[in-house]
Amino acid sequence: MIAVVAGVLVVVAGCGAGEGGGGTTPPSTSATVAAMSVPEYQAVLTGVEQAVRPLIDRINSAGSVEDLAVVREELAKLLEAKRAEIDKVVPPAAAKQAHTRLAAFVAGSASLRVAPKLDTEANECGIAPGPEVHVPQAKRYVRTALYTALTGVAEELDKQNLKLGNLIPAEPETPAEQSRQAKNGEVVHRSGPKGRARLEISNDGDGDVAVSAVVGKPDNPRATIYVRAKSKATLSSLAGTYEVYFKTGTDWDGKRRGFTRDCAYQKFDQSFSGNAHWQITLTPVIGGNASTTKIPAF
């Protein structure tokens, strides 16, 4: 009888079968890809360099974080495409170590898609970082990612007289700090009614100061005068009772009527009557009769 197990017919053929009988199946073979010559492999390296270099130049010249994000994505896509090509390459035997590093570089596209973390915290002057800070930060992020991925690649290639051009973006320049000043005695802001009272101010300190006569909130003073270091100035035409607020710092921004760094903020604890002329000294003096309090940025 013929046995059928689970619907499968099992037939055993004996050796020496006649015509049409089963024979020995020859083993399958596949062609071996020959390793590239050094000139051929150099052509591959040159192709990578020529494809990537224009995007590196665009990273260097990017003027905004948004522009840089576009280039990062384009570079990530390009490296993905190059990875498919590099994976098929059989390098010269002596360049295997270098090729391994090159393959790791083109495989690192994912890191370029991770958005850099940019500083957002306001400084002591109440100013949050802007494009002048964010753009160099974002460029350094990309530069670090590529520098890490390319570490050791050029050195390994050099050992075999192979070359891969510089594909690391330039170190971004940090904008030079400004040190703008208003003129001594310049009234940089005035609003509200005017009177006949005046406030004489002595600034014996090493930093410039902006002094405000305030009725209400300090961010909308009746008047603000700029007093440079080691200088005196008089704020005139004040009316009514007011409080005196002052801020010190470096680099005066006239548009926002404040310093941009190294800021400190204080107010006199007493009020000042608009029916009298007053003299104040902004630095502590022996025998002084007025106290001040540190306050938040305004």
pLDDT on residue 13: 39
Dump pLDDT digits (tens) for 194-237.
Answer: 999 999 999 999 999 999 999 999 999 999 999 999 999 999 99
Please state at what angle helix 65-86 crosses helix 38-61, rounded to 10 degrees.
Answer: 170
**Average pLDDT estimate for 231-253:** 97
Distance CA 256, CA 219 (A): 10
For residue 224, what are the β-bridge partners? Answer: 189, 212
pLDDT at 87: 92
The count of C-alpha atoms lying within 13 angstroms of the C-alpha of 222, restricted to the half-sphere facing its C-beta, is: 23
Pairing of strands 231-238, 197-203: antiparallel
pTM for this model (two decimals) = 0.74
**pLDDT-derived band of residue 2, with 50, 70 and 90 as boundaries?**
very low
Residue of 177, 194, 180, 178 lying closest to 257 (CA atoms):
180
* End-to-end Cα distance, the chain: 103
pLDDT for residue 235: 98
Q: DSSP for 54-105?
A: HHHHHHHH--SHHHHHHHHHHHHHHHHHHHHHHTT----GGGHHHHHHHHHH
Dump pLDDT digits (tens) for 69-117.
999 999 999 999 999 999 999 999 989 998 998 999 999 888 899 999 9
